């Protein structure tokens, strides 16, 4: 099974338990080369998904527009955003939102505009999936 599909299935498992990970990122995904299986790790920011949150947490490059804008958010929604950042990173090799400082990074995240470098050939389906996952609305 493709790696990203396994990540999504693992995230769906967490979400079906009415939880949110809130720190999904490449560093918190383990790939077992022997079995070909993916595991999510580091549930230090995990919480119940039943209510809106206002806690500022996570890794800056993976934070959703709601978190960086200091608005209330649902934990599962920020997991979906982080999965989009993770997919982009896995396929392109760089982060979708880059800046020289956190303030500028957060502005770019809030705008939600990213571009795939021309050197990277991705199918229209994959580009569309990334646009859906990294949608600011």
Give Cβ neighbours of residue 79 (< 8 Å, ≥ 6 apart): 11, 14, 15, 20, 21, 22, 24
Q: What length does the chain have?
A: 137
Secondary structure tally for the chain: helices H, strands E: 5, 4
Q: Are the C-beta atoms of 64 and 79 separated by less than 8 Å?
A: no
Name the 3-class secondary structure at 54: coil
**Catalytic pick from 23, 27, 32, 42?**
23
Q: Is 23 a catalytic residue?
A: yes
**Which residues are known catalytic residues?**
23
């Amino acid at each position: 099974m493709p790696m990203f599909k396994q990540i999504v299935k693992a995230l769906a498992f967490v979400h079906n338990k009415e939880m949110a990970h809130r720190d999904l990122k490449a560093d918190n995904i383990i790939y077992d080369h022997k079995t070909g299986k993916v595991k999510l790790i580091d549930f230090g920011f995990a919480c119940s998904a039943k209510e809106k949150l206002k806690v500022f947490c996570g890794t800056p490059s993976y934070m959703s527009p709601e978190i960086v804008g200091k608005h209330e958010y649902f934990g599962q929604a920020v997991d979906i955003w982080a999965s989009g950042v993770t997919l982009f990173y896995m396929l392109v090799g760089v982060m979708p939102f880059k800046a020289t400082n956190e303030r500028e990074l957060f502005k770019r995240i809030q705008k939600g505009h990213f571009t795939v470098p021309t050197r990277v050939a991705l199918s229209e389906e994959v580009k569309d999936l990334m646009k859906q996952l990294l949608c600011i609305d």
